[in-house]
Structure 1
């Protein structure tokens, strides 16, 4: 079925149908739903070239992908991308990845915008005073940041989870259970989610007169091996921490392995809480001791970013609003009262 046939069937003009399919704000919601439902039922798919000519839109969401020997494939990013891709596919958007030298992403951003390759971009893993956000403000292309950047003196559109609140609640729970030697195995300090998580835990301890000491903090890329190394270095100190809060389930795999190698029982000798991005292939309840977590789906975050980008492309969303999702604290068997043994 082509556009003309779809329009005749719905008794609407081709212009109205085209605008409804492409999310123009002047089409009312009832008409938009009617057109979208009919298009799905009859298998109508717009011709990409014709849509671009008619609307001036490429139908593309872009991402500048840092590459190089120092860049690892991050399963958190892959899961986020899956959520973004699910939404994009269902709404006839394509996703364009533009590889960039990790040390010179600005050149690629400028090229992508100048060539009009995409209708909007998203930015991930923001850093304090992130130069990419400053650049996109100057270039004028619609964009959204997954996360937040501190130190910018202007508003920008973002979607984030309450990292600070999540780790504050995790820390408060451990303090309530009598823990005073609490360690943090965090993501890399250059990224603001890690800054927020450290701040949340630090404030939770401070509220009870405790201190998150520098020797109790480890910051690494979030891999299983890094989790293992960080946990070993913490658990081989004396006195060792009685609880660890970890920034990823993947790192927590390494923490559990390190505790097992050292003969440390969870939660008898050490409590453990980790952040759960809700991976379908790694579930906290399936750990040898069901793992207490702060939980927020990174896949749903990807879908939400795509939804907001589509709205910004069509003009349904304007301004530079941010949204922060609350994070659930799920208590399972990996937390208990602080041990009383002298060497714990």
Structure 2
């Protein structure tokens, strides 16, 4: 079925059908829904080149991922994010364009994208404290949304983030209320904004309870299982080991648990653990009862919402900048208990 036949079937003009399929705001949501359902039912798919020529859009979103030995963005968590974003893109008739670029060549990559005009918008991943990509994209005039925030960027820009500071402040306070006073932080790389904010939350909770920050109980590294194991093993072997760990990643927390069990200790009795990002489709935190107590924030939901914000910026350029902050839940599992006496 072609556009003309679909239009005749619906009793609408070809212009209306085309605009409905392309998400134009002047077409009512009811009409857009009717047209999309009919297009799916009859197997109609608009020619991508014709669609681009008619609308002036590529109907593609760019995800430019830095390849680095310090912070690898191509990881399982990104998989959940792109699955959520992809569901939004598909609903709006958009495709994903992934580019893997060396850290030192990021600026050239964005300038090339702008020159080629092969995407309508960009999602920025893994923002640093002062991220030059934000100012560059503003200069280039490309619509973009940051997954996270950059603390040292003063001007407005569009972002979607979880409240990392509050999540880790609340988690640390929960451990303190259980009587723990030696609480270790196994964090991500702290030049990345999310990890910086998590450390702030941890430190604020200690300060609230009149406790000093002990550098011997703090680690910052790429969030892998091996890192979690090494960090926990080293801290468990010091003269005054931690009785609890606050961990920035479910993957890293598995390594922390391995170090605890290797020493014959019981998780949740001898040593407590709270992790972040336990809501991952590929890695379940138990079934009816969670294994880990966790600050839960769905990465898949974050991908879907960040994509929705970007769609709004593309369809209504004057609507930005847009921002949205998710709050993490504190999920009680089997990995926490009162501090051992």
- How far apart are residue 197 of structure 1 and its match? 0.8
Cα distance change of structure 1 residues 303 and 206 upon mapping to structure 2, 3 Å threshold: same
Corresponding residue number in structure 1 for 2:139:
138
Corresponding residue number in structure 2 for 1:220:
221
Does residue 29 in structure 1 map to residue 29 in structure 2? yes
Cα distance change of structure 1 residues 220 and 286 upon mapping to structure 2, 3 Å threshold: farther
Cα distance change of structure 1 residues 165 and 70 upon mapping to structure 2, 3 Å threshold: closer
Cα distance change of structure 1 residues 252 and 69 upon mapping to structure 2, 3 Å threshold: closer
| Mean Cα deviation higher: 272-281 or 196-205 | 272-281
User: 3-state DSSP class of the match of 1:27?
Assistant: coil
Structure 2 gaps of 5+ residues are none
Q: Can you list the C-alpha shifts for 1:140-186, whole angstroms capped at 9, x where unaligned?
A: 01110000001112110101111111111111111111111111001
- How far apart are residue 27 of structure 1 and its match? 1.5
Corresponding residue number in structure 2 for 1:173:
174
- How far apart are residue 19 of structure 1 and its match? 1.1
CA distance in 2, matches of 1:32, 1:217: 53
**1:71-90 correspondence runs (5 A):** 72=72, 73-90=74-91
Q: CA RMSD in A?
A: 1.9
Corresponding residue number in structure 1 for 2:113:
112
Corresponding residue number in structure 1 for 2:303:
302
**1:264-343 correspondence runs (5 A):** 264-285=265-286, 290-315=291-316, 318-340=319-341
- How far apart are residue 75 of structure 1 and its match? 1.4
Corresponding residue number in structure 1 for 2:92:
91
Corresponding residue number in structure 2 for 1:19:
19
- How far apart are residue 67 of structure 1 and its match? 2.7
- How far apart are residue 278 of structure 1 and its match? 1.5
CA distance in 2, matches of 1:292, 1:70: 28
CA distance in 2, matches of 1:213, 1:104: 38
**1:24-63 correspondence runs (5 A):** 24-63=24-63
Q: Can you list the C-alpha shifts for 1:254-287, whole angstroms capped at 9, x where unaligned?
A: 0011011122221221111001242223222269
CA distance in 1, matches of 2:264, 2:338: 19
User: 3-state DSSP class of the match of 2:133?
Assistant: helix
1:167 and 1:201 in contact (8 A); partners too: yes
CA distance in 2, matches of 1:133, 1:45: 35
Structure 1 gaps of 5+ residues are none
For normalisation by structure 1, the TM-score amounts to 0.94
- How far apart are residue 97 of structure 1 and its match? 1.4
- How far apart are residue 69 of structure 1 and its match? 5.8
